[in-house]
Amino acid sequence: MAKMTAAEAAVHVLKKEGIDIAFGVPGAAINPFYAALRKVGGVDHVLARHVEGASHMAEGYTRTKAGNIGVCIGTSGPAGTDMITGLYSASADSIPILCITGQAPRAKLHKEDFQAVNIQEIAGPVTKWSVTVLEPAQVPRAFQQAFHLMRSSRPGPVLIDLPIDVQMSEIEFDPDTYEPLPAYKPTASRAQAEKAMELLNDAERPLLVAGGGVINADASDLLTEFAELTGVPVIPTLMGWGTIPDDHPLMAGMVGLQTSHRYGNATMLASDFVMGIGNRWANRHTGEISTYTEGRKFVHVDIEPTQVGRIFGPDYGIVSDAKAALELFIEVAKEWKASGKLKNRSQWAEECQERKRTLLRKTHFDEVPVKPQRVYEEMNKVFGKNTRYVSTIGLSQIAGAQFLHVYKPRHWINCGQAGPLGWTIPAALGVCRADPDAEVVALSGDYDFQFMVEELAAGAQFKLPYIHVLVNNSYLGLIRQAQRGFDMDYCVQLSFENINCPEINDYGVDHVSVVEGLGCKALRVTKPEDIAPAFEEARKLMAEYRVPVVVEVILERVTNIAMGTDLGGVNEFEALAENQEDAPTSIASLT
């Protein structure tokens, strides 16, 4: 067998597992691994400006295509702790990424050595597996186990910590005969599928709730086929948005306290049965549980046994991979349809579509400063069905989910549960690296944008072009809105008079200068009629220079976006659509 360093063996395993790109920042304790990357070859590298940024790039890369696993690399100590946020957001959303950290020599681990921290214990709660490998011969098998765990059952991240002397030690390893371990996925039984279908068929007004597990299982086509076979309308969760196209006649809208549609909430409240597939009943989807569950039965299908019954006890639960369950549901539905056993759902589906046509929010505002709703209206006009949107948190993300349209799985790439500020820029770069031919459009408020703005330099250096829509109200907008309940507006102002940029008045940071200083292009818009032309100009700049292009829209300072604490009590702060002119790009006009 071949003799090589443990680090070289690890790189060979990465390649055998399908890895050809990594995101990271080198450092002293991980340099042997970087030396192995250089020697073995075949794994490209994007140099992040912050190690947390590298972890979010890896997330964006994973989330873009089925089968992708993003890899992020950092040195010992603070590099590992910096990546904890990325591991947390990946774990929360069931996203597999592999985090590789350097570590002090084994003999120094208990001596408070420079940049030596017990990252295995720190990362434990936010990973499927976290390990400091102490024996060089175990390194290739630790990587093999990592990929097996990341792909099996509920997907999630793994951290492998490598002491520097372990990386440099020579071992025997034969990469030519290495084989990945098969992933384990629980599978529903025929009897379970029939039981669930009986409950669905007995209902009068059933719904399917499609979660992120459907996308993780690459089963969106099956979900749509199942809906069409049964005629049952679909409610995607925020993480499942795109499982069924927004303009599909059985897409009934999103439900929730924030990222939801008026028609989606109304349809949920009118239903009497819900089959959730690959979802976790997140609190911002359900709101008050008593309202969400009252008067309806539930079937819950999830790959993770401990998720079934975690939020509330369903009437029937199935532990299964979403794809495996949907294949069985389709098999049963086809048999029942052929025998005339399936109910006709056309009247219920039409009731849902009528709500979709009429229960709309207004988007067409002509005010200056610009109202945010107008930004999303213009985005819908300019960006097509193949656009991959990237966003994370804030009023911008909430309003974006209320007003934008998504037509394909993995075309709304969003950090759902963790929602870390700063996620959007590095995640968008990871998306660009995963799908270089896609039109990638990121959406941020000004604070999310400022958190990790330095990663734009990586986009310029490595030619990762995308359009970043920056809606700037110079506020922590979501927190300011939440502070209304405390009757205060405290410590949330980002406004100040910028002595170097008087033309932006008191909007503070001159984002155009910052972006250009990082090697990218930027445009600033102050009037609603200039938004669409700016997007078109951004496309041209992006194509010409192959760098990220930021379109900053100066918004009115204060906007309250629709939200509440209960599905039956969402507060609508702005005017509602009274006619088609109020919402010219509403999904109702596309169905």
For 501, counting Cβ atoms within 10 Å of its Cβ (0-12 exposed, 13-18 middle, 19+ buried), the class is middle
Strands (E), 49-177: 70-74, 97-103, 129-132, 158-163, 170-172
Instruction: Give the DSSP H or E segment for 14.
Output: helix 6-16
Token representation of residue 240 = 């499942």
Q: Is the dihedral of CA 403, 405, 410, 411 positive or negative?
A: negative
Catalytic annotation on 51?
yes
Q: Are 411 and 264 in contact (CB under 8 A)?
A: no
Catalytic site residue from 19, 37, 46, 51:
51
Residue 399 DSSP symbol: H
For residue 370, list its beta bridge partners. Answer: 555
Catalytic site residue from 43, 199, 479, 590:
479
Q: Is the dihedral of CA 436, 441, 447, 450 positive or negative?
A: positive
In angstroms, rounded to a whole number, what is the distance separating the alpha carbons of residues 50 and 116? Answer: 19
User: Which residue, among 67, 72, 83, has the nearest Cα to 21 in the 3D structure?
Assistant: 72
User: Which residue, among 312, 333, 326, has the nearest Cα to 200 in the 3D structure?
Assistant: 333
Catalytic annotation on 479?
yes
Q: What is the pairing mode between strands 316-319 and 297-302? A: parallel
Catalytic site residue from 14, 395, 421, 547:
421
Catalytic annotation on 421?
yes
Catalytic site residue from 21, 25, 97, 117:
25
Q: What is the pairing mode between strands 440-445 and 467-472? A: parallel
Q: Are 125 and 92 in contact (CB under 8 A)?
A: no
Token representation of residue 546 = 């192959």
| SS3 state of residue 204 | coil
The tally of CA atoms less than 13 A away on the side-chain side of residue 396 is: 34
Residue 352 CB contacts under 8 Å (≥ 6 apart), including other chains: 233, 250, 252, 253, 263, 267
| SS3 state of residue 187 | coil
Catalytic site residue from 159, 332, 476, 550:
476
Q: Are 551 and 525 in contact (CB under 8 A)?
A: yes
For 204, counting Cβ atoms within 10 Å of its Cβ (0-12 exposed, 13-18 middle, 19+ buried), the class is exposed
User: Which residue, among 69, 53, 21, 95, has the nearest Cα to 427 in the 3D structure?
Assistant: 53
In angstroms, rounded to a whole number, what is the distance separating the alpha carbons of residues 243 and 234? Answer: 9
Dihedral angle computed from the Cα positions of residues 385, 386, 392 and 398, in that order, rounded to the nearest 10 degrees? 0
Residue 81 DSSP symbol: H
For 584, counting Cβ atoms within 10 Å of its Cβ (0-12 exposed, 13-18 middle, 19+ buried), the class is middle
Q: In 3-state terms, the chain is what percent helix, strand and coil (to 5)?
A: 45, 15, 40
Active-site residues, by number, are 25, 51, 421, 476, 479
